[in-house]
Each structure stands twice: as C-alpha cells, then as structure tokens.
C-alpha cells in the first residue's frame, strides 16, 4: 500500500482520493502527481484491500479512481461496491482504461455509477483537471448536506 496524506482542510479531518490500479508504476505515477498538486491520496494495487480501507474510512473519501481491468475484480464492480455504501452518491468516481472502446460500450450498467471515464494513456494535466472538477462537486455536495442537517 502507498499512503500519502496531506491536509486539505484546517480541521483535524483529512479527505482523500482512493486510487486503485493493479499496475504499480501507474499507481505510483498518479499518486505522486496528485499529491504534488495538493491532493491526499491513498493507493492500492488490490481492490479487495482498497474496499476494506474504504469501508473503514468512507466519511473522508471524496473521489475514487479505479482501473477498468484488474485481476481481482473489474473497476466497474469495484465502483458498484463503493456506491452500495455511498447511498447519497456524494463520492465521485472515475474509471481509467485502455479498453474503453472494446469493453465499456457493451456494458451499459456503468452509466449510473461512473462520473468520468478516461482512456489510457492519461495525460497528467487532464487527470488533474478532471480530479479538480469532481472534487469541487463532491465538496459542494458534502457541504450542502451539512447545511441541511
């Protein structure tokens, strides 16, 4: 597990992006890049381990980025499990894949659960832009939910 945590807020809580990819080099690249841009990242090569971490830390997760094709489970199945716990859909999700053209159009079930899809190779500037947009939406939704309480 690679865990890099930087403070995004002034209080004692930290908020994180959960990264899951079975390719260690890509995982490290994304984690280091996002961390250098001020994001907190928690990274896993194994989606089962990532789910276990997520279940223990659901409250602080803003974004999940998962590879589409992993040995233990697909990124779509992984995100479905995330969404089962995130019943208010506050956590944003992104799939990254080299197989988009071949596989995703045939699997229409992903449409309701995935906020963004990026095709490999992923340009880091684009990843940063998409992450910023999704986290902004997630923060707004979480803050709106706090106000309603």
pLDDT in tens, 18-71: 999 999 999 999 999 999 999 999 999 999 999 999 999 998 898 999 999 999
* 13: phi then psi, degrees, rounded to nearest 5: -85, 150
C-alpha span between 17 and 10 (Å, rounded): 18
C-alpha span between 119 and 142 (Å, rounded): 28
pTM of the model: 0.84
Contacts of 38 (CB under 8 A, 6+ apart): 6, 8
Q: Domains of the chain, with CATH numbers?
A: 2-148 (3.40.50.2300)
> For the residues of 27-65, what is the DSSP string, one character each?
HHHHHHHHHHTT--EEEES-HHHHHHHHHHSGGGEEEEE
């Amino acid at each position: 597990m690679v865990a890099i945590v930087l403070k995004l807020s002034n209080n004692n809580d930290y908020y994180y992006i959960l990264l899951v990819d079975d390719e260690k080099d890509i995982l490290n690249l994304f984690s280091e890049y996002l961390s250098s841009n001020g994001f907190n990242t928690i990274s896993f090569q194994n989606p089962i381990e990532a789910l276990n971490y997520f279940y223990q830390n659901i409250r602080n997760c803003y974004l999940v980025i998962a590879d589409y094709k992993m040995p233990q489970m697909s990124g779509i199945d992984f995100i479905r499990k995330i969404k089962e716990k995130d019943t208010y859909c506050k956590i944003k999700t992104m799939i990254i894949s080299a197989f988009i053209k071949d596989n995703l159009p045939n699997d229409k079930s992903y449409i309701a659960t995935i906020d963004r899809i990026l095709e490999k190779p992923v340009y880091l500037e684009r990843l940063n832009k998409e992450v910023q947009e999704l986290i902004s939406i997630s923060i707004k939704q979480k803050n709106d939910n706090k106000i309603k309480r």
